[in-house]
Structures are given as structure tokens and as C-alpha cells.
Amino acid sequence: MDAITRRPPPRIEADPQVDRGALIDLRHVGAVLRRRWMILCAAMVAAIAVAAAAYLVAEPRYLATAQVALERTAERVINVDSVVPTTDPDSAAVDTEVQALRSPELIGRVVDRLHLDRDPAFNKVAVPGQAAPAQPDLIGRQRAIGTLLGGLTAKRDGLSYAISVSFEGSTPVQAAQIANAIVDDYVSGQAGSKADATLRARKFLEQRLQQLRTQVLDAERAVADYRSAHNLFAVSNASTVTQQELSGLSTQLAQAKAENAAAQARLSAARAQLRGGRSGEELGDSLDSPVVSQLRSQRAEVAREVAALEKRYGPRHPDLVRAQSQLRVADQAIAAEVQRIVSNVSIQANIASQRAASLAGSVAQSQGKLASDNEASVRLGELERNAESSRTLYQAFLDRYRQTVAQSGLERSDSYIVSRARVPSAPSSPNKLIYAAMAVVGGLGIGVLFVVLLQLLERGLETSDAIENTLALPTLASIPDANTLPGYRKSGPPAPPAELLLKRPQSTFAEAFRTLRTSIQFAEASKPIRVVAITSSVPGEGKTTTAMGLARAVAAAGGKVLLIDVDARRRASSRQFTDNVTLGLDEVLAGTATLEQAIVKDSLSDACLLPQRLDSKGISLAESPRLAQLIEQVRERYDLVILDTPPVLPVDEARVIASMADGVVFLVRWRRTPSKAASVALRRLYDVHAEMLGAVLTLVDVREQERAGYEGGGNFMKAYRHYYAD
């Protein structure tokens, strides 16, 4: 087999945005469940048995449901505000009422009403048929409340204003009775609480009205006493007596001043005329005087008569003299009357002046009295405001008291009963479907828990993905356990595993070694692969069978192959190839025999073996410096040299031998090799710079792999089974 120059395979870069660790491999989960199906079935059977037993011993329970709803519109007989206002319910109000239906106070009233504290079903220490105790049993009452709350359910029906109240009891009649008692007491309790609130408000208002009435009387009496003490009697709401008096005096004073001015003006005019030598007849008073007007009329007649007589008679005529004498008498009379009028004007002017002066004094006196009254009015205003506020408060309380009295007896509950609980005809529990569901869920849960625990406790590797993730090695091949192959399960394999490759060349077992041969041929390495070391972490991994099978597979393909048994402790290859070995590896390394003398040819194939004598005393081949020379010598003669080495962890020499090979094939027994042991062995091999080609899963249980559906080929076994002749 010629060496092949290999190129590294292209690597597929993972998407950095995808967290591979957070992904769940559903196929792997399904494979684990299929593998552990017996545990799942056992857990299911146990859960079903437990659920059936629990169902048979469970006490029948009966569920009764009543329904109440909140009033959305309140009935109003009289248009007054109630003591307890009624508001439109909202979502929070409905949730609050749900909690109110479960309040211990309400449940306590139901317990007292139905005497549940004397019922053994609610109070375990109660004796059936026992008379009521003389003293209330508070502890028994609390037990009954707790038991009733344990069976009570109150919940809102969707987004409606309806609330369902359910109670689950041991007897159907009692369950319905308790549910109805709860809704009855709830609805009646709301009306009763409103009536109590109204009664409390009425008593409070009565007491407060008595106090306010006394306050109003005291305040009004204080106002009246203060008015009387300070003479602050009010003529109207706008003015007092002093203000009214001052207003009248001011008006009279203004009028008196006007009259005085007019009188003084007439007096001045009259005096001015008299001083001018005039008779004063031109005065307005003279002109307006009827006496003066009559005298002037008489004088005019006498003057006309004198004028007529002067034309007719002479100056001495008696009639003329008499007429002239009458004219003088008339002038004297007019002058006398005018003088009297002027005197009267003077008198009236003096009177007007005196009256104006008197009124001015009265106004000044009233103004002084008004200033004094204004100072007293400040305190009076305060007293009046206090009295008014007391009257307002008293009137408000009086109106509210009348409204409270008017609405007494009109209180209504804020909720109503939609439907009453009916006596249930069948028990609500135990429910077969619920118990069955619990059995299925519980069985699956327990089964999955056991499966998870077993998976966590399992330390072996069973898939190529697990090998790559744990050991960072590619999987070269999966060697099945011949006893688990479909054709050999009943009668067993027709030949030992090392010979089965040649006797059944078309079998699955033989194909696995051909796969290993091809994987090694095209494995990624730093130099051409001529020497391959077969090793493992612990004993019992199938190293000898794998090494012999690989050697015969290479020989069957026409390649020159040499298998060297370098396990100085067990010499398994030497035992299986030949029984009598006289010359072996020890003699070649010691120089007492040539390589051609020690090599043994396989009787079943063209493979060659460099064995060890079974009675050899050597325990460390790596100590001989000629081993490396021997490997270099056979490298040129054979297409492939296979080194059957001891396990790495028990025997340190395996690492030295592995470092001499061109590549190392690391064996991992399916589900048996602990991942920690494999990791430690790999770390030791890397310490000596061994060239790791990959890992091989050995002794794979094909039947289990097929049932579990792992990706190593088991899930495709049915599809390509006809390709093999097992």
C-alpha cells in the first residue's frame, strides 16, 4: 500500500451568532429515551398502579356551586345621597368582592349559622350528637372555619361581574347547603352593613345637631347683646340707625344751605335796592306778593283817574285834589308793604342761616357717633360671621339628618344571587381523568428523572459526536460486537472475531475494518503514514482484535502489512497468531535472531506478525534503543506497520512506543471507557508529541445502537442491512 499525500479537509466555520451549547439535540434526546424505554415503561406502570390505588381509597367529594353578581345600577327611591355610596363596579371591585367572599368573618357567620363547629367533618374533636356547650368553643370554631375555607373556591367568571362560589364537601346536601348559606349571608350582609351604617350616621347626626343648636343660639345671643350694648341697631341689612340718621341730616343740611343761600341772596338784593334809593318794588318777593299786586292795581286806577281829571279840570279842582290824595295814599301803602316784605326777607335769611348752622352741628355729632359705631361694628361683624357659619353648619347637618332619616329602611345590597347551588348528583372527585393524567404525567416525569440520572452517572462514550466533543478527535470507524450482529444473535458468530473478517468478508464486521483501513489511509497527518500504533486508555478495549483485523484487512486489499506485538506483558497478538514462538521481538532486539527468522506469516492471510515468545522475561521494550531502529527498518519494507501496544494508563511504555509511530489510533470501548480516563490518556500521549489520527469505537452493541437510533450507523442499519451477508 503506497503512502498517500493528504490534504487537510476544508473546515466548516460555525456561525458565531449561534450558541451551539444552548441548542437541544432532539435526535439525541429521542435516542436516549428509546434506549431507556424499559425504565420509562416501568415508571409508567408504577405511577398507574399508585394512581389506581389512590383512586380506590380516595373519599368521594361533592361540588356545589352558587353564583352571585354585582349590581351595575343602583335603585334610587328618593334622590338623596346614601350613607354608603353605591359606585359602578370595576375589575378591581370584582376582585375585592372575591376576597370578601373568602373572608374569615363571613365564613365564621356561616359556621355559626349551620353549627359546623359541632360537625366532626369540620371539627375533628367534635362528638356527633353532642349538645351545644355552655361556653363557645373558639378553637373548634377556628378549626371549622379553616376546614370550610379549605373546600371553598370563589372566582370571577371571565371578565363579567359574576362570581362563582363553590364548596366541595363530603355529602352532596351539605355542600349545596354551605354554598347557598355563603351567598345568602354575603348578600344580606351587604344590606345589613348599610343599615348599620345608616343607623350609626343617624345617631351621630342627632348628637351633633344638639351641639350645633346650642352653638347657634349662643352665637346669635352674643350678636344681640353686642348690638344692644353698643346701640348698633340696624334699620336695614345695608345700614344702621346712625347711618340712616346721618344720611337724613346730610340731606337736610344741604337743603338748608341752599335755602340759606337763596335767602341771603334776596336779602342782599333788597338791601342793595334800598341803598340805591329805590323803593324795593322790583324785588321778586314784592312782585310775587298778592298784596303788592292789589295795591298796584288800585294805584293804577287812581293814576288813570288823576290823569283824566288833569285833562278835564284844573289843579285845584276838588276831584283832582281828592284823586291825587288817593294816589299818594296808594303809594304810601305800597311802600309800607314793600318795607314789610324786605323785613320778612331779612328774618327768613336769619332763620335759614341758623337752621343750616344747627344741621351742621347735628351732622358733626352724627359723624362722631358713626365713627364710634364703626369701631364697634368690627367686633359685631366677627360675631355675625360666627353666628352665620354656625347657622350654615347647623342647617347642613339638619338637611343631612333629614336625608338619613328619609332613607332609613331603603338599604339594598350591592349584589344579587344569580343562581343557587343545587344538590350535586355525582361526586366531583376522585376524577378518573385527572388521576389518569396525573399517572401519565407523574410516570413520565419520574421515568425521565431516572433516565437523566442514569445518563449523568454514565461515564462512557457512545457516539462519534461525543468523541469529537469530549476528546477532540475524529471517529475513524465503529467496530461492532460480533455477538450483537443480527445474524449472530441466536447462534453466535461462526468464527472468532479476529478470523470473522476473512471468513465473512461481506459481513458488517468486515466492513468496519475496511472502513478503519480507509480512514487511516486518508487520515490527516504531518507525514506519510507507514507505522500506526493501536492503543487505548485502559485494558479490555479490543486492541489486539482491532490490530489483527486491521492487518488482515490491509493484507486482503493487497498491501504488505506487518503486525508487531509490543505489549510485553500480555502478548495477546502472539497468543492468537501462533502457539509456539521460538524466536521473537526480544531476540531481534537482542541481536540473537534476524528479522526474517522472527517474522511469522498469518495462516489465514498474507499479513505478517513479529511476535514475542510467551516465556520471555522482558517487561520493557522501550528501554532497548534498537526498537526505534527496527521500526525504521520495517518502515521501508512494508506498506503498513501496526504496533499492538499496551494501554496508556497502566503501562507508561505505551506512550514511548506511540511517539515512534507515524500515527496513533486511539480505541474507545462503546459505553465502557470512562471519558475522564480517555481524556487523561490522550493528554499523556500529547505530552510525548504522539501523532493522533483519530478514535475508534469498539465492541459496539449494534442492537442497542439500532434501538437507540444513534448516528453511528445504527439508525440506518435496517436501510442497508441487505448489503451485508452476516
Q: How far apart are CA 30 and CA 451, in angstroms?
A: 12
Rounded to an integer, the average pLDDT of 103-130 is 84
- Is 16 exposed, middle or buried (CB count within 10 Å of its CB: 0-12, 13-18, 19+)? exposed
Let me know: does 429 contact 61? Beta carbons within 8 Å. Answer: yes
Let me know: does 110 contact 148? Beta carbons within 8 Å. Answer: yes
Span 518-539, pLDDT tens digits: 999 998 877 889 999 999 999 9
Q: Which of 385, 376, 391 is nearest to 226 (CA)?
A: 376
Same domain, 544 and 504: yes
The DSSP annotation for 562-623 comes to: EEEE--TTT-HHHHHH-S--SS-HHHHHHTSS-HHHH-EE-SSSS-EEE---TT-----STT
Residue 280 counted as domain residue: yes
Cell of 591: 541481536
Q: How far apart are CA 215 and CA 648, in angstroms?
A: 110
pLDDT at 558: 92
Residue 540 counted as domain residue: yes
Same domain, 415 and 388: no
At what angle are helices 653-660 and 626-635 packed, to 10 degrees? 40
Q: How far apart are CA 402 and CA 522, in angstroms?
A: 109
| Between residues 649 and 415, the one the model is more confident about | 649
Rounded to an integer, the average pLDDT of 673-697 is 94
Neighbours of 9 (CB within 10 A): 9
User: What DSSP element (H or E) covers 55?
Assistant: helix 37-57
Q: Is 281 helix (H, G, I), strand (E, B) or coil?
A: coil
| Between residues 435 and 302, the one the model is more confident about | 435
Rounded to an integer, the average pLDDT of 569-589 is 81
DSSP code at position 712: T
The region of weakest confidence among 66-70, 219-223, 246-250, 291-295 is 246-250
Percent of the chain scored above 90 by pLDDT? 22
Same domain, 388 and 308: yes
Q: Please check the confidence at residue 134 and state whether its pLDDT lies above 80.
A: no
Rounded to an integer, the average pLDDT of 671-681 is 92
Let me know: does 712 contact 697? Beta carbons within 8 Å. Answer: yes
Q: How far apart are CA 148 and CA 110, in angstroms?
A: 9
| Between residues 510 and 294, the one the model is more confident about | 510
- Is 312 exposed, middle or buried (CB count within 10 Å of its CB: 0-12, 13-18, 19+)? exposed
**Containing domain of residue 143, as a range?**
57-201+411-419
Residue 380 counted as domain residue: yes
- Is 593 exposed, middle or buried (CB count within 10 Å of its CB: 0-12, 13-18, 19+)? middle
Q: How far apart are CA 231 and CA 717, in angstroms?
A: 127
The residue among 364, 393, 419 that closes a domain is 419
Same domain, 194 and 75: yes
- The CATH number assigned to the domain holding 618 equals 3.40.50.300
Q: Is 4 helix (H, G, I), strand (E, B) or coil?
A: coil
Q: Which of 496, 405, 455, 536 is nearest to 78 (CA)?
A: 405
Furthest CA-CA distance within the chain: 227
Residue 16 counted as domain residue: no
Q: Please check the confidence at residue 436 and state whether its pLDDT lies above 60.
A: yes
Rounded to an integer, the average pLDDT of 278-303 is 66
Residues 6+ apart with CB under 8 A from 109: 185, 189
The residue among 365, 395, 419 that closes a domain is 419
Residues 6+ apart with CB under 8 A from 505: 556
Q: How many domains does the chain have?
A: 4
pLDDT at 119: 84
Q: What is the mean pLDDT of the chain?
A: 80
Same domain, 320 and 443: no
Prior bond to 493 cis, omega within 30? no
Q: Please check the confidence at residue 546 and state whether its pLDDT lies above 90.
A: yes
Residue with cell 493522533: 692
Percent of the chain scored above 70 by pLDDT? 80
DSSP code at position 696: E
DSSP code at position 12: -
pLDDT at 633: 92
Q: Is 61 helix (H, G, I), strand (E, B) or coil?
A: strand
Residue 561 counted as domain residue: yes
Residues 6+ apart with CB under 8 A from 131: none
Same domain, 190 and 257: no
Residue with cell 350528637: 129
Q: How far apart are CA 306 and CA 298, in angstroms?
A: 12
Same domain, 395 and 438: no
pLDDT at 2: 43
Same domain, 187 and 248: no
Residue 269 counted as domain residue: yes
Residue 661 counted as domain residue: yes
Same domain, 65 and 192: yes
Q: pLDDT band at 10, cuts 50/70/90? A: very low
Same domain, 579 and 719: yes
Q: pLDDT band at 3, cuts 50/70/90? A: very low
The DSSP annotation for 420-454 comes to: PPPPPSS--BS-HHHHHHHHHHHHHHHHHHHHHHH
Q: In what order do the strands lie in the sheet with 600-601?
A: 475-480, 692-700, 663-669, 531-536, 640-644, 561-565, 608-610, 600-601
DSSP-assigned beta bridge partners for residue 153:
166
Q: Please check the confidence at residue 506 and state whether its pLDDT lies above 80.
A: yes
Span 20-34, pLDDT tens digits: 555 666 766 776 777
Cell of 213: 343648636
Cell of 625: 534503543
pLDDT at 585: 87
Residue 212 counted as domain residue: no
Q: Which amino acid is at 62?
A: Y
Helices (H) and strands (E) in the chain — how many of each?
A: 23, 12
Span 614-649, pLDDT tens digits: 877 665 676 677 888 999 999 999 999 999 999 999
Phi, psi of 600 (to 5 degrees): -115, 135
Same domain, 282 and 393: yes
Q: How far apart are CA 286 and CA 552, in angstroms?
A: 178
Q: pLDDT band at 278, cuts 50/70/90? A: low
Tell how strand 692-700 and strand 475-480 pair up: parallel
Please state whether 618 falls in left (phi above 0), alpha (psi between -120 and 50) or beta: beta
Q: pLDDT band at 206, cuts 50/70/90? A: confident
- Is 176 exposed, middle or buried (CB count within 10 Å of its CB: 0-12, 13-18, 19+)? buried
Q: Which amino acid is at 473?
A: L
Same domain, 275 and 401: yes
User: What DSSP element (H or E) covers 65?
Assistant: strand 62-70
Q: Is 343 helix (H, G, I), strand (E, B) or coil?
A: helix
Please state whether 701 falls in left (phi above 0), alpha (psi between -120 and 50) or beta: beta
